[in-house]
Amino acid sequence: MRYCKLCVIPDTRPNIHFNEEGVCSACVLAAQKKQEIDWKAREAEFRSYCDKYRTKDPKQWDCIVPVSGGKDSTYQIHIAKNVYKMNPLAVTFRTDARTPLGEHNIKALREMGVDQIDITPNPVGFNKLRKKTFEEFGDCSLPDHLAIWNIIPQIAVKFGIPLVLWGENPDMEYGGQADLQQVSKLNRDWFRHQHILKGKTAEDWADADLPLSEIKFCVYPDEKDLDALGYTPLFIGYYHPWDADQNVKISEKYGFQRRKKGPIMGLYDYADLDCEHIVIHHYFKWLKFGFNRITDNACNEIRKGRLTREEAVKLVREKDGVKPPKSFIENFCKRIGITVEQFWEVAEKFRNHEVWKKDENGEWYIDGWIGGDKVPDRFPYEEED
């Protein structure tokens, strides 16, 4: 494994690129962002979109804000409603693994004075899809991403609302594909290139056992309908400097709650708290790529200038790779109809043998892990309430 010289991201991360100096694409962009981006011009462009779509019709909404109950949701509503004086329709996709904290944060967000639609897809079809994505790609969250990225354009067409205000552009924040980092819109081109979808659409997943009609909310609407609407799905994070830490402080004023017991598997007590699946999803990065949420979060802290690389290395060595709570795994297994033993059999299939080796005692370790020594995979479960 090769690590970025400035942060602690390894070259096993999908879509990351290292330049000749050994610096990753996310660090290069973070440095550029501080200097080169004309934020005033971008904010002016954002304002012009809001002005274009703000309506005087009391029966209509000005924009859709996709929300989950996570760290960015309340902040997105704050930007839309309080900063740009828009009348947003909040739209959530109800995963069958939404946490009580996620539910609380959605309620708090509604109480800012917005309408909300909670979309709950057919659980039979959805869990069939989830079983497939888990067994085929070791990914339990793929259906959730496929759903939210397709539900929003569907609702836009059905309700006749062209403007959508998404939160961050993950390629920009975490260092994805270079050509996707400077993308201002979350359209189909953008999400089809996301590693998380494995290049597959709902139509690709459908078969005799899983008819498309059982996963309707995962289907992208007709392009003609979107063009006729003037569909405009913007990333707020492209137009405004994005810092989750600052955003959360604003969200808390509106009742957003952090996780009282502390971070579930990264550094932030405000992240990964709205859905059980996302925690399992992150854990699989540990098996596939040899890093997990502490690495992701520590890299972000380095780029924001709040952590040194040395401190980050220490954190990664001490804490990265913690397993998801047992209850999350048990719930997940129940949903897709497998046993916990089968879960770990699947997990083992996705352990990347380029990254993981066995020592003389038959214990797994990451070869060339950051900091030098061989470190075995022996982190305990953390129990959720």
The strand pairing partners of 119, in sequence order, are 93
Least Å distance, CB 283 to Zn ion, is 22
172 belongs to the binding site for Zn ion (CB under 5 A): no
Q: Which of 154, 131, 155 is nearest to 143 (CA)?
A: 131
264 part of the interface to Zn ion, by CB under 5 A = no
Q: Specify the residue, 101 or 315, whose C-beta has the smaller distance to Zn ion.
A: 315
We find the least distance from the C-beta atom of residue 293 to Zn ion, in angstroms, to be 16
> What's the CA gap between 294 and 128, in Å, rounded?
31
Minimum distance between the CB of residue 9 and Zn ion, rounded to whole angstroms?
5
- For 111, other C-beta atoms within 10 Å of its C-beta total 10
Q: Does 355 interact with Zn ion (rule: CB under 5 A)?
A: no
Under the binding rule (CB under 5 A), the answer on residue 236 touching Zn ion is no
Please state, in angstroms and rounded to a whole number, the distance separating the CA atoms of residues 171 and 185: 12
Number of residues engaging Zn ion in binding (CB under 5 A): 5
* Interface region with Zn ion, contact rule CB under 5 A, candidates 1-9, 46-54, 150-158, 267-275: 1-9
- To Zn ion, the closest distance from the beta carbon of 30 in angstroms equals 8
28/63 with CB nearer Zn ion: 28
State yes or no: residue 28 binds Zn ion (CB under 5 A): no
Neighbours of 124 (CB within 10 A): 11
Among 3, 10, 12, 27, binds Zn ion (CB under 5 A): 27
Record the tokens describing residue 251, joined without a space.
């969200």
User: Is 4 a residue that touches Zn ion (CB under 5 A)?
Assistant: yes
Q: CB nearer to Zn ion: give 45 or 311.
A: 311
7 belongs to the binding site for Zn ion (CB under 5 A): yes
377, with CB counted inside 10 A (0-12, 13-18, 19+), is middle
Residue 368, SS3 per DSSP: coil
- Could you give the angle at which helices 123-137 and 142-159 cross, rounded to 10 degrees? 140
Contact 359, 338 (CB under 8 A): no
315 interacts with Zn ion by CB under 5 A: no
Structure tokens at 15: 């879509």
Residue ranges in contact with Zn ion by CB under 5 A: 4, 6-7, 24, 27
